[in-house]
Amino acid sequence: MAQPVIEIKNLKKIFGEREVLKDVNFTVSKGEVVCIIGSSGSGKSTLLRCINLLETPTAGEIYYHGEDILKSKKASHQYCAKVGMVFQQFNLFNNLTALENCTIGQIKVLKKDKREAETVASNYLKLVGMEQFINAKPKQLSGGQKQRVAIARALSMEPDALLFDEPTSALDPEMVGEVLKVMKNLAKSGLTMLVVTHEMAFAREVSDRVVFMDGGVILEDNTPEEIFNNPKFERTREFLKRSKNE
Amino acid sequence: MEKLATFLSGVAKVWNLYGSSLIDGTKITILIAIVGTLAGLLIGILVGIIKTITVKKDDHLVKKLVLKIVNFILAAYIEVFRSTPMMVQAMLLYYGTAWIFNIRVNAIYAAIVIVSINTGAYMAEIVRGGILSIDKGQYEAAHSIGMTHWQAMSLIVLPQALRNIMPAVGNEFIINMKDSCVLSVITVNELFFQTKSAAGATYLTFHAFAIACVIYFILTFTVTKILRYVERRMDGPESYTIHGSQSAPEAEIRVNLKQTK
């Protein structure tokens, strides 16, 4: 077993009176691709947002290479720089060009000089097939192009792990393909990925493990073969059946 | 027709006698409006940023308390200066300092201070609105690549907020250009003051103010044009350059999006 990059213990998140996450435990190992599936409101996105500290967990621990990152505020910024996030709504910086989107974090957070940052950024923009558009502003790009730049932005920080929060849900069907292709290539390259998705075919094909969440807990955590062909719970079966009919 | 001819000769007379003092007044009007608006914007940015700081449950008690007090003071500042006429504020400052400290401040300095503080109160709300209008995702994305709160604000949120509030800032600028005339009550010799003097000396009140009217219009119209230009500059080019086409990597193709949108 490879060493865990992220380890979550007894994670809880309460919004007002609603308990969105109840006692979540799981680990992501180096080089692993884990897909989180489940119906809307099951806590998938909240779990991801907690891991990236966009939400402060109500209780529990998050370990990054064995270090509890909820303990110290200083470490948390460095941690965020090392665990990237790709959002459903892309969230590219609208005031910056595609290239600047990919360099600003390197320059301001990792303290690289501009030339070096631009070299790294162009490499990743090339990887996602966006090298022609480095001078374009986000409003000049299509949804799929924006998401590919967003992936390049996250990669430019050379993260240990990348979190994807429904990266294709805001895209029209034609553009889903181009983003999924990029993600598949990343998965093959050995990047540690944690993907919240509704793309069942993608989860089945690419992931090492699939996690099924329901009602704020992890119901099943297994290989894709087991989850898709031989689910242990009735609830999982029901969900998979319904998502197939869609 | 005859009336028009006498009107024009009256205008010419006022201009010949008092043209230079009207121009001096115009300069002071411009000075007050520019400095007042810029200083006001600066105050507004500061106050607006402080007012958008959110308090989290697990923040330190001291931070919560300080923020609460500061917010109260800022809210009081905004409410007081938005709820009283600038003319009255000018009177209070100018004659107040004279009465309390026995000093007579330079009227122009007093005018600039009053316009700045007054504009700042409005700008604070404009800036706050601008910051709130920026999608939360922008801040979250900045946070997700490890930026601190200040980095996210100064590099990502504020530049976008400032662009969005430019039309409102332009409004304030134009208002200041015109409303600086109320400062004539504290003997600031700006355009309105000079026009009144010219009118009083020549008894050609209508003619003098006709000139002032034209000058004010030219001023505000020019400001409008300049602001539009600044906005376009902030937006950056409509088109972008495509890099390295496959047949000729060094070729750069410009794509214009104006037509496609």
Question: Six-digit token pair at B22?
Answer: 């009207």
Smallest Cβ–Cβ distance between A95 and the set B135, B159, B241 belongs to: B159
Q: In the prediction, which pLDDT does B255 show?
A: 53
Strand A161-165 and strand A192-196: the pairing is parallel
Rg (CA), chain B: 25
Cross-chain Cβ contact B146/A80 below 8 Å: yes
Question: Six-digit token pair at A209?
Answer: 């493990």
For residue B228, the tally of other CB atoms under 10 A from its CB is: 13
Give the C-alpha distances (Å, rounded to integers) separating A92 from A50, A81, A149: 21, 16, 8
Mean pLDDT of B31-35: 95
Q: How confident is the model at residue B234 (pLDDT cuts 50, 70, 90)?
A: confident
pLDDT digits (tens, 9 = 90+) for B56-96: 776 788 888 999 999 999 999 999 999 999 999 999 999 99
- Would the pLDDT of B248 be above 50? no
The total number of residues shown for chain A amounts to: 246
Q: How confident is the model at residue B251 (pLDDT cuts 50, 70, 90)?
A: very low
For residue A103, the tally of other CB atoms under 10 A from its CB is: 25
- Would the pLDDT of A246 be above 70? no
Mutate which: A50, A94, A95, A155, vs B, most B CBs within 10 A: A95
Cross-chain Cβ contact A133/B242 below 8 Å: yes
CATH class of B2-260: mainly alpha
| Chain A residues lying within 8 Å of B148, measured CB to CB | 77
Cross-chain Cβ contact B143/A134 below 8 Å: no
- Would the pLDDT of B259 be above 70? no
Strand A59-64 and strand A67-68: the pairing is antiparallel
| pTM exceeds cut of 0.90 | no
Instruction: Specify the range with the lowest mean pLDDT, choosing from A63-67, A120-124, B194-198.
Output: A63-67
pLDDT digits (tens, 9 = 90+) for A20-46: 999 999 899 999 999 999 988 888 999
Q: In the prediction, which pLDDT does B260 show?
A: 40
> Among all chains, which residue has been given the structure tokens 């940015």?
B45
- Would the pLDDT of B200 be above 90? yes
- Summary mean pLDDT of chain B: 89
Smallest Cβ–Cβ distance between B141 and the set A87, A137, A140 belongs to: A87
Buried (b) or exposed (e) across A119-152, using 16+ Cβ within 10 A? ebbbebbebbebbbbbbbbbebbebbbbbbbbbb
How far apart, in whole angstroms, are the C-alpha atoms of residue A246 and residue A239?
11
Mean pLDDT of A73-88: 85
Rg (CA), chain A: 18
Touching B: A residues 8-47, CB under 8 Å: none
The total number of residues shown for chain B amounts to: 261
- Tell me phi and psi for residue B257, to 5 degrees: -95, -5
User: Which percentage of chain A shows pLDDT scores above 70?
Assistant: 98
Our CA-based measurement puts residue A237 at a distance from the nearest CA of chain B, in whole angstroms, of: 34
| Chain B residues lying within 8 Å of A131, measured CB to CB | 243-244
Query: 3-state class of B139 per DSSP?
Result: helix
- Tell me phi and psi for residue A15, to 5 degrees: -105, 110
Specify the amino acid at residue B21.
S
Cross-chain Cβ contact B144/A54 below 8 Å: yes
Our CA-based measurement puts residue B259 at a distance from the nearest CA of chain A, in whole angstroms, of: 12
Q: How confident is the model at residue A93 (pLDDT cuts 50, 70, 90)?
A: very high
| Chain B residues lying within 8 Å of A95, measured CB to CB | 156, 159-160, 163
Our CA-based measurement puts residue A179 at a distance from the nearest CA of chain B, in whole angstroms, of: 19
Q: How confident is the model at residue B254 (pLDDT cuts 50, 70, 90)?
A: low
How far apart, in whole angstroms, are the C-alpha atoms of residue B169 and residue B34?
12
- Summary mean pLDDT of chain A: 90
Specify the amino acid at residue A121.
A
| Chain A residues lying within 8 Å of B242, measured CB to CB | 132-133
Contact partners, residue B11, CB within 8 Å, separation at least 6: B204, B207, B210, B211
Cross-chain Cβ contact A108/B135 below 8 Å: no
pLDDT digits (tens, 9 = 90+) for B89-128: 999 999 998 899 988 889 999 999 999 999 999 999 999 9
Mutate which: A52, A118, A124, A140, vs B, most B CBs within 10 A: A140
How far apart, in whole angstroms, are the C-alpha atoms of residue B111 and residue A219?
69
Instruction: Specify the range with the lowest mean pLDDT, choosing from A65-74, A80-89, A107-116.
Output: A65-74
